[in-house]
């Protein structure tokens, strides 16, 4: 029996090897099953594996400058504005009639993405009624890289897509899948997080995380004295858009002599309140910095409950924070990671199907809300729920405002 | 086996005849007692690092903010000591928090009706968990896992992922307010009072027939059934209490933290960890309810201590993981020591999930369990 | 009622699992065709099978651990760590593939050994031991890795992207691992002891089994298979990622798949074949819901309901097929464990 099992184990172990040889001898098989990675071009494109540190001086400098850049286009339509730069010629995609769009979404697991997803769907309705888009098939990867890769491969094989919209779950991991989508010859629009390849027709994003960090940390440093303590509330480690915000802020705090202590909160307000309470018990806290405005209210309530003077604070353009800011009258600013970018990919496709030129890297405005604009933004977003983002940019779309007020999504 | 039984009895007899101080000392050497020592050590360390934490005013606030997780741990205790798991707890907390936010809004008149609705819903979820587990014979791990997924999904679908906003302040006072101007303490937060009430109720409940039956059921359901317990109803009541305690935790958290879909996330694992830290054996049949609450306090103190020590944020998981393993390993050793000579250490092995000991062993077990509570 | 009991009685739990899988398949065909898609198109089959691979590896390991009466909640973190070691050591150099694979699986085995020793020697419940080890690894990952790391060479990436027809290579490797696990369970002494220990540890000990060995073996294999999942993910992603394991929620999902496959959560009874059926059911369900564009929040509702309902069906069978032991009145517990190697696999 021992002998038998050994033989059987050996046989089973050999099986995958046999399978491997079987497939390498049959190149046609690899061709048809989405092994697009086989093309030699991909090797060079996959760029530097992430470094040990999130800080990137070149990117920091670029975004520092972009904060004061002038944007082309109508300021009334910030979702169509861009910084002048190289353009992509899309005349080869010009075509008549409604087109089918396939959207590989990373997830709708936080209020920011949900708000954007609602806006995107209303934009879709507008473009459907104007006959540009016939329909959009969406696959949601639930924050999972592996699922999103499979989603994109499914679209390539089965979707009958005329265009791809991809909101990558992470940068390096999705690079090859995006390249496979590019190889279909259809337009590919990437937005929010980027990928390590330039093959996409356009890459849409607001200025970026470093700009957020620079805006917020400079604001806090200006309002506070050297040696003052700032508590930095971060959602979770390892997400580039969030890590860039902190990397820039940390650098500036260090330069200005601000004492910054960072915590991960999981965006859980109970966690945030405990952290602030503990910090207040240990000593004075003059400022609060957040890498996303979720739970900002709990941070302020911790000061109220402890009977301490309210801090100087940076949150986000989320309604809960703006409302609390107004109520308490604190010294604050709301950095913005422009939520209206969720409209832009579909509008970009409209231009692509017309064959118009579009920016190769489409950098959207990212302008923080300062104290003097607070009232007008609150006014414009009256009746919106606490998880809504003030700069959602969908005021002219069908369904406004009920769809956003009730957070209706398909 | 009969000699084992005898020595077990004589051990109990000896224990009962010992003096009060000796008994206390011995109790502290059990896992359920050791947690109190761990808790005191942790609190002492925090105060050493930051003396202001020890002031009555800030200490009572610490108890207040730990109340929700302590209440959840007490609820989870009932389920665990009955030999089951409740993984749906976190989703119940989130659901209740969002219901409070979306149904009450700023309307004070709705506070009471919605409060009643939340309690009814909480009880209903516990009832469903309990009935599927006991009558349909689906393992509670799976029932409550399914409930966890389904509840959270439904709530997020209903709200589009984000709540409308915080409910009326009168409702939030339950978790945020307190009795003001108390001498020495300055404030007695309402959560402290609610926690005290829950703890007393739980303590009394565990000394009544229900508690004894629950421990017997957790220890050996077959024997308990033979002895005339309605096993399914005992366990179902444990699930109802677990969901109700999650509801209570949710009500307090709405006040303490505000309405947000991430409130309550991971509560089930925190509660289970707290219960196990309190020396309660997974698989049922052993442990004190107040030790479970103490486990929650120890866990919260640990997090606070890590904050004060300035441990790098990313390393905290690691420290937490190591402490949990060490604490439970130590607890498991002392259970073994205590039971040495009584029975084979079979129960203390890794798979209490499957505990189906022989009836004789079980009878001796439940006797001991009853005495301990 | 009588007749149904008879029908159920003649089926093994593994057969019921595959009946449920068949029902899911039929439902899938109907729904997918109703919106003008084909369920059996190569792209769709490949999509479903890809969905089975990663979860499959982990669920096989989880089956062994559960059969031995333990649990493993640390798998997501082991998987992430494995993907990082693999991609980090390979560093886009094909010559490093073998050493990277060995180092990855070796590390995973050591983690499994540590867990096994904590469970078997320190008598810590598997739930807590693996929760703790998972937290320890998670802290290490968050501290030392900033986002994705390393890079896997093209040859290695092909494993995740290639298929024989619509069947991905990764699925074939996963099935081979399943075959090995079955051999272990049914042809070796350790395998038989695994069932015995999971069934009733006291009885197993009395009959002279060294109960530590099967428990530790199961944990080592489970961690190694989580490492395999990490290798596959490194191959598909092209990089290692500190979050790729937790992204999938593989801890609870794998336990659910195992139980969905008819294995008793309390240990001692169940089969690898059943687990594969459970994994397949999940993969088809996800595929159908994605094709139908079900709201992502509702997907979880469906998953949750299906897990409970399916397991309730098996549990019903267990009630009717077992002779009554303690009379009729509402005895809520069927003494579950029997140290008998599983029914036909």
For the stretch A137-185, pLDDT in tens is: 999 999 999 999 999 999 999 999 999 999 999 989 999 999 999 999 9
| A25, two tokens | 């001898």
pLDDT at C318: 61
pLDDT of A31 over the 70 cut: no
Q: Check residue B165 and give its pLDDT.
A: 85
> Do B157 and B230 lie in a common domain?
yes
Reported as a single tens digit per residue, the pLDDT across C46-66 is 999 998 999 999 999 999 999
**The pLDDT of residue C190 is above 80:** yes
Domain hosting B278: range is: 29-338
Q: How high does pLDDT run on average in chain B? A: 84
List the structure tokens of C125.
């419940």
**Chain A positions in Cβ-Cβ contact with residue B100 (cut-off 8 Å):** none
Q: Are residues B208 and B85 in the same domain?
A: yes
Same domain, B225 and B134: yes
Is residue B17 domain-resident?
no
Number of compact structural domains in chain B: 2
Which has the closest alpha carbon to C321: C262, C253, C233?
C262
Cα R_g (chain A), whole angstroms: 24
Q: C-contacting residues of B 209-228, CB under 8 Å?
A: 221-222, 225-226
Tell me which residue in C71, C131, C265 faces B142 most closely, judged by beta carbons.
C265
pLDDT-derived band at B190 (thresholds 50, 70, 90) equals very high
How far away is chain C from the Cα of A235, in angstroms, using its nearest Cα?
13
Residue B189 lies in a domain: yes
Of C91, C162, C238, the CB nearest to A35: C162
Q: Is C296 on the interface with A (CB under 8 A)?
A: yes
Q: At residue A27, does pLDDT exceed 90? A: no
Task: Please report the pLDDT score of residue A53 as a whole number.
Answer: 74
Please name the residue of chain B whose CA is at the shortest distance from the CA of residue A110: B161
For residue B13, tell me if it sits in a domain. no
Contact C315 B136 (CB under 8 A): yes
Say if residue B365 is in the same domain as residue B283.
no
Mutant choice from B55, B177, B180, B257 vs A, greatest count of A C-beta within 10 A = B257
Q: What percent of chain B has pLDDT over 90?
A: 56
Is pLDDT above 60 for C335?
no
Residue B87 has pLDDT above 90, yes or no: yes
A3's enclosing H/E stretch is helix A2-24
Has residue B4 been placed in a domain? no
B138 and B240 in a single domain? The answer is yes
Spell out which residues of chain C touch residue B338, defining contact as CB-CB under 8 Å. Answer: none
Which tokens hold the place of C56? 């499959």
Any idea which of A85-94, A325-334, B18-27, B325-334 has the lowest mean pLDDT?
B18-27
C-beta atoms of A114 and B162 within 8 A: yes
Q: What is the pLDDT of residues B210-244, one digit of tens each?
A: 999 999 999 988 888 888 888 999 999 999 999 99
Residue B196 has pLDDT above 90, yes or no: yes
Cβ-contact C299, C286 below 8 angstroms: yes
Relative to beta strand A163-167, strand A133-140 is unpaired
pLDDT at res. B10: 54
- Confidence bin at C285 (pLDDT 50/70/90): very high
Average pLDDT, chain A: 87
Are A277 and B314 inside 8 Å of each other by CB? no
Q: Please tell me the least confidently modeled range out of C119-133, C190-204, C285-299, C320-334.
A: C320-334
Dihedral of the CA atoms A300, A301, A302, A304 (nearest 10)?
100
pTM: 0.88
Asked whether residue B333 falls in the same domain as residue B303, the answer is yes
In a domain, B202, yes or no: yes
Q: Quick one: pLDDT at residue B337?
A: 64
**Distance from the Cα of residue B105 to its chain's centroid:** 30
pLDDT at A257 exceeding the cut of 90: yes
Mean pLDDT of C73-101: 96
pLDDT of residue B53: 87
Is B143 among the domain residues?
A: yes
Nearest CB to B350 within list C119, C202, C315: C119
Report the alpha-carbon distance of residue A317 to residue A78 in Å, rounded. 16
Q: Does B348 touch chain C (CB under 8 A)?
A: yes
Closest CA in chain A for residue C161: A35
- Is A210 in CB contact (< 8 Å) with chain C? no
pLDDT at residue A43 tops 70: no
Same domain, B44 and B94: yes
Q: What is the number of CB-based contacts under 8 A between chain A and chain C?
A: 177
Is residue B258 a contact partner of residue B87, using CB atoms and an 8 Å limit? no
- Do B359 and B285 share a domain, yes or no? no
> How confident is the model at residue A237, as a pLDDT?
78
Q: Is pLDDT above 80 for A47?
A: no
Q: Is A297 exposed, middle or buried (0-12, 13-18, 19+ CB in 10 A)?
A: buried
| pLDDT band (50, 70, 90) for residue B164 | confident
| pLDDT band with cut points at 50, 70 and 90 for residue A3 | very low
Is the per-residue pLDDT at B23 higher than 80?
A: no
Q: Does B352 lie in the same domain as B281?
A: no
Chains that touch A (3 or more CB pairs under 8 A): B, C
The most distant pair of C-alpha atoms in chain B lies apart, rounded to whole Å, by 68
In this structure, is residue B228 part of a structural domain? yes
At residue C9, the pLDDT reads: 64
Q: Say yes or no: B302 and B349 in one domain.
A: no
The token pair at A54 is: 């999130």
d(CA B216, CA B369): 8
Domains of chain A with bracketed CATH: 30-61+209-333 (3.40.50.2300), 62-208+338-368 (3.40.50.2300)
Does B356 have pLDDT greater than 50? no
- Which residue from A5, A9, A238 is facing C242, i.e. has the nearest CB? A238
Shared-domain flag, residues B334 and B361: no
CB A104, CB A396: distance < 8 Å: no
Tell me the per-residue pLDDT of B54-77, one tens digit each, with 9 for 90 and over. Answer: 888 889 999 999 999 999 999 999
Tell me the C-alpha distance between A214 and A220, whole Å. 10
Given a cut of 50, is residue A276 above it in pLDDT? Answer: yes
Pair of tokens at residue A70? 């002038």
| DSSP 3-state of A9 | helix
Least CB–CB distance from B308: residue in A278, A298, A387: A278
Residue B115 lies in a domain: yes
Q: What is the pLDDT of residue A30?
A: 34
User: Across the interface, do B356 and C298 touch by the CB < 8 Å criterion?
Assistant: no
Average pLDDT of every residue of chain C: 88
Both B348 and B221 in one domain: the answer is no
Residue range B242-250: mean pLDDT, rounded: 97
Please indicate if any CB of chain A lies within 8 Å of the CB of B307.
yes
Chain A residues with CB under 8 Å of B166 CB are 297, 386
The confidence score (pLDDT) of residue B17 equals: 62
Residue C248 pLDDT exceeds 50: yes
């Amino acid at each position: 029996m021992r002998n038998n099992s050994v033989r059987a184990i050996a046989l089973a172990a050999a099986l995958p090897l046999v399978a491997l040889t079987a497939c390498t001898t049959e190149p046609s098989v690899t061709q048809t099953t989405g092994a697009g990675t086989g093309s030699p071009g991909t090797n060079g494109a996959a760029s530097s594996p992430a470094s040990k540190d999130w800080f990137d001086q070149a990117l920091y400098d670029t975004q520092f400058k972009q904060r004061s850049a002038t944007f082309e286009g109508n300021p009334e339509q910030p979702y169509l504005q861009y910084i002048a730069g190289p353009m992509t010629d899309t005349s080869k995609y010009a075509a008549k009639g409604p087109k089918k769009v396939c959207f590989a979404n990373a997830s709708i697991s936080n209020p920011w993405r949900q708000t954007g997803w609602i806006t995107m769907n209303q934009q879709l309705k507008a473009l459907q009624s104007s006959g540009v888009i016939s329909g959009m098939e969406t696959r949601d990867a639930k924050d999972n890289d592996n699922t999103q890769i499979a989603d994109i491969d499914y679209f390539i094989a089965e979707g009958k897509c005329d265009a791809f919209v991809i909101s990558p779950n992470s940068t390096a991991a999705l690079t090859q899948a995006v390249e496979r989508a590019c190889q279909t010859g259809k337009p590919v629009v990437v937005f929010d997080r980027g990928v390590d390849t330039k093959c996409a027709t356009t890459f849409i994003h607001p200025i970026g995380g470093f700009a957020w960090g620079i805006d917020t940390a400079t604001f806090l440093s200006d309002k506070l004295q050297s040696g003052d303590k700032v508590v930095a509330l971060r959602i979770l480690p390892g997400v580039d858009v969030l890590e860039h915000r902190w990397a820039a802020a940390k650098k500036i705090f260090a330069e200005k002599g601000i004492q910054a202590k960072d915590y991960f909160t999981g965006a859980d307000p109970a966690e945030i309140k405990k952290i602030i309470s503990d910090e207040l018990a240990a000593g004075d806290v003059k400022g609060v910095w957040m890498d996303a405005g979720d739970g900002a209210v709990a941070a302020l309530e911790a000061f109220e409950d402890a009977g301490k003077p309210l801090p100087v604070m940076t949150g986000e353009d989320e309604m809960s924070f703006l409302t609390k800011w107004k109520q308490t009258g604190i010294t604050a600013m709301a950095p913005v990671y422009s939520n209206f970018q969720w409209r832009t990919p579909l509008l970009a496709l409209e231009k692509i199907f017309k064959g118009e030129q579009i920016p190769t890297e489409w950098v959207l405005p990212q302008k923080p809300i300062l104290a003097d604009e607070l009232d007008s933004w609150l006014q414009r977003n009256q009746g919106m729920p606490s998880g809504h983002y003030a700069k959602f940019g969908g005021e002219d779309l069908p369904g406004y405002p009920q769809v956003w007020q009730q957070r209706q999504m398909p | 086996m009969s000699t084992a039984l005898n020595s077990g009895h004589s051990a109990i007899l000896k224990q009962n005849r010992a003096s009060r101080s000796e008994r206390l000392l011995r109790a502290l050497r059990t896992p359920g007692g050791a947690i109190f020592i761990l808790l005191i050590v942790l609190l002492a360390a925090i105060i050493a690092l930051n003396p202001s934490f020890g002031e009555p005013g800030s200490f009572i606030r610490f108890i207040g903010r730990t109340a929700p997780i302590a209440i959840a741990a007490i609820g989870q205790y009932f389920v665990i000591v009955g030999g089951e798991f409740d993984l749906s707890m976190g989703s119940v907390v989130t659901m209740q928090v969002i219901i409070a936010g979306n149904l009450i809004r700023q309307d004070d008149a709705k506070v009471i009706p919605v409060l009643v609705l939340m309690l009814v819903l909480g009880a209903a979820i516990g009832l469903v968990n309990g009935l599927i587990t006991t009558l349909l014979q689906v393992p509670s791990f799976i029932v409550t896992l399914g409930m966890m997924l389904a509840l959270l999904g439904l709530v997020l679908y209903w709200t589009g992922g984000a709540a409308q906003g915080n409910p009326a302040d009168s409702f939030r006072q339950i978790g945020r307010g307190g009795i003001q101007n108390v001498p020495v303490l300055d404030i007695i937060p309402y959560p402290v009072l609610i926690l005290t009430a829950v703890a007393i109720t739980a303590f009394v409940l565990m000394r009544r027939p229900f508690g004894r039956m629950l421990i017997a059921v957790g220890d050996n359901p077959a024997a308990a059934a033979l002895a005339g317990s309605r096993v399914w109803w005992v366990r179902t009541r444990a699930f109802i209490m677990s969901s109700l305690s999650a509801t209570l935790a949710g009500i307090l958290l709405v006040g303490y933290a505000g309405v947000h879909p991430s409130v309550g996330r991971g509560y089930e694992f925190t509660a289970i960890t707290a219960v196990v830290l309190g020396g309660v054996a997974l698989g049922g049949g052993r442990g004190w309810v107040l030790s479970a609450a103490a486990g929650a306090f120890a866990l919260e103190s640990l997090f606070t201590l890590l904050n004060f020590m300035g441990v790098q944020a990313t390393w905290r998981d690691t420290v937490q993981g190591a402490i949990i393993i060490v604490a439970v390993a130590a607890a498991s050793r002392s259970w073994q020591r205590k039971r040495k000579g009584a029975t084979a250490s079979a129960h203390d092995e890794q798979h209490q999930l499957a505990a189906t000991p022989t009836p004789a062993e079980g009878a001796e077990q439940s006797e001991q369990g009853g005495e301990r509570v | 009622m009588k007749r149904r009991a008879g029908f159920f009685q003649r089926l093994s739990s593994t057969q019921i699992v595959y009946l449920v899988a068949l029902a899911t398949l039929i439902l899938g065909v109907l729904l997918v065709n109703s919106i003008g898609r084909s369920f059996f198109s190569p792209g769709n089959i490949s999509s479903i099978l890809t969905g089975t691979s990663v979860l499959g590896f982990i669920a096989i390991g989880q089956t062994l651990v559960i059969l031995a009466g333990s649990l493993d909640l640390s798998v997501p973190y082991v998987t992430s760590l494995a993907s990082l070691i693999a991609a980090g050591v390979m560093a886009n150099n094909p010559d490093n593939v073998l050493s990277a694979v060995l180092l990855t699986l070796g590390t995973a085995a050591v983690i499994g050994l540590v867990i096994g020793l904590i469970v078997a020697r320190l008598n810590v419940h598997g739930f807590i031991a693996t929760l703790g080890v998972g937290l320890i690894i998670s802290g290490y990952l968050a501290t030392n890795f900033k986002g994705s790391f390393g890079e896997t060479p093209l040859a290695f990436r092909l494993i995740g992207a290639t298929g024989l027809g619509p069947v991905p290579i990764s699925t074939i490797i996963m099935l081979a691992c399943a075959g090995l696990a079955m051999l272990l369970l049914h042809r070796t002494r350790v395998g038989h002891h695994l069932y015995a220990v999971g069934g009733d540890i006291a009885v197993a000990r009395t009959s002279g089994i060294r109960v530590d060995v099967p428990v530790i073996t199961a944990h080592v294999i489970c961690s190694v298979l989580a490492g395999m999942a990490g290798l596959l993910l490194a191959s598909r992603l092209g990089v290692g990622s500190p979050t790729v394991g937790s992204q999938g929620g593989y801890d609870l999902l794998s336990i659910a798949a195992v139980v969905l496959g008819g294995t008793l959560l309390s240990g001692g009874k169940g089969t690898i074949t059943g687990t594969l059926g459970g994994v397949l059911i999940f993969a088809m369900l996800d595929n159908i819901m994605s094709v139908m564009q079900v709201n992502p929040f509702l997907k979880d509702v469906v998953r949750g309901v299906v897990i409970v309902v399916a397991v309730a069906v098996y549990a019903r069978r267990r009630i009717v097929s077992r002779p009554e032991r303690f009379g009729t009145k509402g005895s809520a517990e069927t003494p579950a464990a029997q140290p008998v190697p599983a029914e036909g696999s």
